[in-house]
Amino acid sequence: MSELAERFETHDPGEKQVAEKIRCDACPVMCYIADGRTGACDRYGNVGGRIVRMDPLTILDHAAETGGAVVPFVAEGEAWNGELVNTGRRFVTAIGAGTTYPDYKPAPFIVSQEVEGVDLVTVVTEGIFSYCGVKVKIDTDRHIGDETGIVRSQGEAIGHVTTGEYGSQMLSLGGVHHLTGGSKAEGRATCDALLNLCNRKPVELAIDGGATVIVEAGKAPVIDGKAEHRMRVGCGSATIGMFATQWRGLVDEVVVVDDHITGVVSEHQAGKVLGWEDTGIKIVGRRSTPGRYFKVSEPGLGWGGTTISDPLSILGDWNAKKGARPGLSLLMVSTTGEQFAYYELDDELKPVEKPFPERLQKSVGLIEENCEPALCTVLFIGGAGGSLRAGVTENPVNLTRSVQGLRTYVTVGGAPVYVWPGGGITLMVDVTRVPEGAFGYVPTPALVAPIEFTMRRDDYVRLGGYENEIRSVEDILAKGGEYLNPRRGTGAPVNNPWPPLAQLRRARANGAE
Ligand code: SF4
């Protein structure tokens, strides 16, 4: 049983002996917590009879941009030393902020900051996301499972294989149906996998009828025990287009083996334009357009994401009437340049493998060189259009309209997000841009993610915000908040812009109208 599952098991909100325990109200589980202990999610504890958020509130310092170096914690009651985080480029994230739950109260921190003459407000809270999941992009040509194939973690269904993208296999994991719509075990396994993926830990996923993949955000995928190194340079047809000139004069025919579009240079438009001679080659597959073939094999873990280990298996008989002749040279290569072989036709027009010639090494090397490293990308996707909006404004739909109208800028742990067009506030964020360990969970089950809303102060007041709750950064640093946890400063991730800057530019643009 996973650590997370054990906590689900051991938690009992209906415990009878609650006399010396105090209730945590930060989620619907309502743990009763004994002094010195933490609740089921480990995020809140009973410290001397008071509910305390156990992780520090994280404040990013964008001037330092140290890439994550953390300055020492500032204990409750101590003054902020101001050395690192006193630059005017601070951002109070929601990491460690606590939640708005129950939703009748304002968000834990509503922060004001004047930036380049504009008064901004950032509303900071840790959202509880029952409607959430991750989209996983796995850079590989290898077939890891059929579209709609079930993806499992700890034996439970937690998602499915979705539409493949260019050079990548895609998974859609989590979502409310797996979190809450199946068995308890399914919900727990889903929550566990999502939490680990979002916190950039490795997770082993097994696909029904397909491969076992270890996914870790920002790292190479491991497919059936083998680490993937390269993302393909392009499909077989694109590879022909890119490298046809490199091969001209060095070899008579080139076949780029690909599960999707296998390319043949002598027939391909690129080859024709360059004056490539016919070779009488025959590809076993479905011809789409000249020099582009679909379905030369079944999808698999072999050459170019096919099942092929012997590339000659996709060739039919060579036709002498169409240019085949003894001695004709043939290069066969995969879309990553990892597999390649060289052949010459014998007197009976059968290809015979020969030592790979020096003259072709450079072009194969160029394919490899043009391949990017294979990575796993994990995007957290969550719906913030629900009750947490009540912690921002007394009239929740105003927040939705403000986000949709680009007057409110949304971040997750200070990282920029993509907000889907249309109704609600459905956002996506690259978890590698969010400070490490930012995601949590509650056993309902649901994920907890930091979320910040930044806007002009006058806009905030106009949309029905809690004006009386607005505090300065200095005050927050010095006094903290309701959950009594310390504050810590950390250098902002180097590739994240200072969150309100985009908002500021928009505000200026609006003001100029
Ligand atoms: S699960 Fe966590 S947030 Fe929910 S009541 Fe228990 S300690 Fe509080």
Write the pLDDT tens digit of every residue in 230-266.
898 899 999 999 999 999 999 999 999 998 899 999 9
What span, in angstroms and rounded, lies between the C-alpha atoms of 448 and 98? 10
In ligand 1, the atom with minimum distance to the C-alpha of 443 is 1
Ligand 1: which atom is nearest the Cα of residue 99? 3
Using one digit for the tens of pLDDT, what is the confidence trace for 162-200? 999 999 999 999 999 999 999 999 999 999 999 999 999
Atom of ligand 1 nearest to the CA of 41: 2
As beta bridge partners, residue 262 has 293
What is the per-residue pLDDT across 352-398, written as a single tens digit (0 to 9) for each? 999 999 999 999 999 989 999 999 999 999 999 888 899 999 999 99
**Locate tokens 């204990």: which residue?**
75
Q: What is each CA distance from 94 to 52, 61, 90, 176, in whole angstroms?
A: 15, 14, 13, 23
Q: Which atom of ligand 1 is closest in space to residue 448's alpha carbon?
A: 3
- Cα of 31 vs centre of ligand 1, distance in Å, is 6
Q: Considering only CA atoms, which residue is closest to atom 5 of ligand 1? A: 30
342 DSSP β-pair partners: 331, 354
Look at residues 46, 42, 100 and name the one whose alpha carbon lies nearest to residue 441.
42
Checking if the pLDDT of 77 tops 60, the result is no
Which region among 218-227, 464-473, 483-492 has the lowest average model confidence (pLDDT)? Answer: 483-492
**Residues 6+ away with beta carbon under 8 Å from 142:** 169, 211, 223, 228, 300, 301, 305
132 near 380, Cβ under 8 Å?
A: yes
Ligand 1 first shell, C-beta below 6 A: 24, 26-27, 29-31, 39-41, 43-44, 442-443
Q: What is the pLDDT of residue 510?
A: 63
> Who contacts 14 (Cβ-Cβ below 8 Å, separation ≥6)?
none
Residue of 23, 25, 195, 442 to test ligand 1 pocket, by largest number of atoms within 8 Å of CB? 442
What is the reported pLDDT for 58? Answer: 94
Direct distance between the N- and C-terminal alpha carbons of the chain, in angstroms, rounded to an integer: 59
d(CA 60, CA 490): 5
CA of 442 to the centre of ligand 1 (A): 6
pLDDT of 133 over the 90 cut:
yes
Q: Residue 501 — very low, low, confident or very high, per pLDDT cuts 50/70/90? A: low
Mean per-residue pLDDT for 340-355? 97
- Report how far ligand 1's centroid is from the alpha carbon of 445 (Å): 11
Whether the per-residue pLDDT at 499 is higher than 80: the answer is no
Tokens, residue 279: 């070779």
Range 488-513 average pLDDT: 69
Q: Which residues of 254-288 are buried (b: 16+ CB within 10 A; e: fewer)?
A: bbbbbbbbbbbbbbbebbeeeebebbbbebebeee
The minimum-distance atom of ligand 1 relative to the CA of 101 is 3
CA 73 / ligand 1 centre spacing (Å): 23
Q: Which of 15, 43, 101, 482 to mutate to test the pocket of ligand 1 (most atoms within 8 A of CB)?
A: 43
Give residue 30 CA to ligand 1 midpoint distance, Å.
6
pLDDT at 155: 97
Q: Measured in angstroms, how far is the CA atom of residue 444 from the centroid of ligand 1?
A: 9
Mean pLDDT of 444-450: 96
pLDDT at 86: 42
